[in-house]
Homo-oligomer: A and B are copies of this chain.
Amino acid sequence: MAKIADRYFTTDPWYVIEEGFNPEYSQVAESVFSLGNEYMGLRGYFDEGYTGKSLTGNYFNGIYGRQEHTPSAYKGIADSTEFMVNAVNWIYTRIYAGDELLDLGKSSFSGFRRELDMKNGILSRSFIWTTSGGNKINLKFERFLSMKHVHIGAQRISITPLGFDGEIRIIAGLDFSEPHQSFGQNFWDCSDIKTDDGHLSILGTVKTTGQKLFSSCRFSGDFYDKLISQKEISVNEKAAAREFTVQLREGSETTFVRIASNLACQDMEGEAYQLFERQRSHSGEELKLLDYEVLKEENISWWNKVWNKSDIVIRGDELNQQGIRFCIFQMFQTYHGAKKGTNIGAKGLTGEAYSGNAFWDTEVYCLPFFIFNNPEAAKNLLIFRYVTLPEAKERAGSLDCKGAFYPIATISGRECCNLWQHASLQLQASTAVAYGIWFYEKITGDKEFLLEYGLPMLVEICRMLATRGSWTEGGKKYGYYCVMGPDEFQMMVNHNCYTNYMGRFTFNYTLKVLDELKNQASDSPTEVGRNLADKERSDELLHTMGLTADECSEWSRMADCMYIPYDNDTQLFEQHDGYFKLPHVDIGSIPVEDFPLYHHWSYDRIYRNDMIKQPDVLMVMLMFNASFAEETIRRNYEFYEPRCIHESSLSPSVHSILAAQIKKHAEAYEFFKFATRLDLDNYNRNAYEGLHTTSIAAAWMNIVYGFGGMRSDGSELSFSPSVPNGWDGYSFRISYRNNVIFVDVSRENVTFRTSDDTPVSVNVYGKPIVLGREAEIVPIPLEWRG
Contact = CB atoms under 8 A, between A and B. Distances in A.
A453 B491 CA distance: 38
B472 A603 contact: no
Nearest to A585: B470
Nearest to A491: B492
Contacts of A584: 472
A628 interface: no
Given A471-B583, A491-B492, A578-B578, A424 B603 contact: yes
Contacts of A605: 76, 399-400
A599 to B, nearest CB: 7
A400 B74 contact: no
Contact of A599 (B75, B77, B399): B75
Contacts of A441: none
Residue picked from A420, A482, A578, most chain B C-beta under 10 Å:
A482
A276 to B, nearest CB: 35
A223 to B, nearest CB: 49
A749 interface: no
A2 interface: no
A75 B608 contact: no
Given A470-B608, A577-B578, A607-B492, A399 B602 contact: yes
A420 B72 CA distance: 14
A71 to B, nearest CB: 12
A595 interface: no
Interface in A442-493: 470-473, 481-482, 491-492
B604 A399 contact: yes
B424 A75 contact: no
B583 A470 contact: yes
Interface residues of A, number: 40
Nearest to A397: B602
Interface in A152-194: none
Interface in A550-588: 577-578, 581-584
Nearest to A474: B584
A137 to B, nearest CB: 46
Contact of A601 (B75, B491, B492, B609): B75
A494 interface: yes
A73 interface: yes
Contacts of A421: 421
A425 interface: yes
A492 to B, nearest CB: 4
Contact of A492 (B470, B471, B492): B492
Interface in A641-661: none
A565 to B, nearest CB: 12
A727 interface: no
Interface in A69-105: 72-77
Nearest to A473: B581
Contacts of A639: none
Contacts of A398: 602
Nearest to A598: B74
A495 to B, nearest CB: 9
A600 interface: yes
Contacts of A601: 75, 400
Nearest to A399: B602
Contacts of A491: 482, 492
A601 B582 CA distance: 30
Interface in A688-741: none
Given A472-B581, A583-B481, A607-B482, A76 B602 contact: yes
Contacts of A470: 583, 608-609
A472 B600 contact: no
A482 to B, nearest CB: 5
B604 A425 contact: yes
A609 B577 contact: no
Contacts of A577: 578, 581
Contacts of A75: 598-603
Contacts of A76: 602-605
A74 B491 CA distance: 14
A394 to B, nearest CB: 13
Contacts of A602: 75-76, 398-401, 424
A420 B472 contact: no
A74 B492 contact: no
A783 to B, nearest CB: 37
A605 B74 CA distance: 11
A780 B584 CA distance: 56
Contacts of A599: 73, 75
Contacts of A481: 582-583, 607-609
Contact of A494 (B73, B482, B578): B578
A401 B582 CA distance: 19
A420 B419 CA distance: 11
A586 to B, nearest CB: 13
A335 B113 CA distance: 76
A600 B73 CA distance: 10
Contact of A472 (B399, B400, B583): B583
A593 to B, nearest CB: 14
Contacts of A473: 581
Contact of A77 (B578, B581, B603): B603
Interface string A391-422: 00000001111000000000000000000110
A464 to B, nearest CB: 12
Nearest to A75: B602
Nearest to A69: B70
Contacts of A77: 603
A29 to B, nearest CB: 27
A421 B77 CA distance: 14
Given A577-B578, A578-B578, A582-B481, A603 B420 contact: yes
Contacts of A482: 491, 604, 607-608
A762 to B, nearest CB: 45
B603 A74 contact: yes
Interface in A588-624: 598-605, 607-609
Residue picked from A75, A399, A401, A599, most chain B C-beta under 10 Å:
A75
A471 B577 CA distance: 19
Top-9 shortest CB links A-B: A470-B583, A76-B602, A74-B603, A400-B602, A492-B492, A481-B608, A424-B604, A399-B602, A482-B608
Given A482-B604, A491-B492, 17 more contacts: A73-B599, A74-B598, A75-B599, A75-B600, A75-B601, A75-B603, A399-B602, A401-B602, A424-B604, A470-B583, A470-B608, A470-B609, A472-B581, A472-B584, A481-B583, A481-B609, A578-B578
Interface of A: 72-77, 398-401, 420-421, 424-425, 470-473, 481-482, 491-492, 494, 577-578, 581-584, 598-605, 607-609
15 contacts: A74-B603, A75-B599, A76-B603, A400-B602, A470-B583, A470-B609, A472-B581, A472-B582, A473-B581, A481-B583, A481-B608, A491-B492, A494-B582, A577-B581, A578-B578
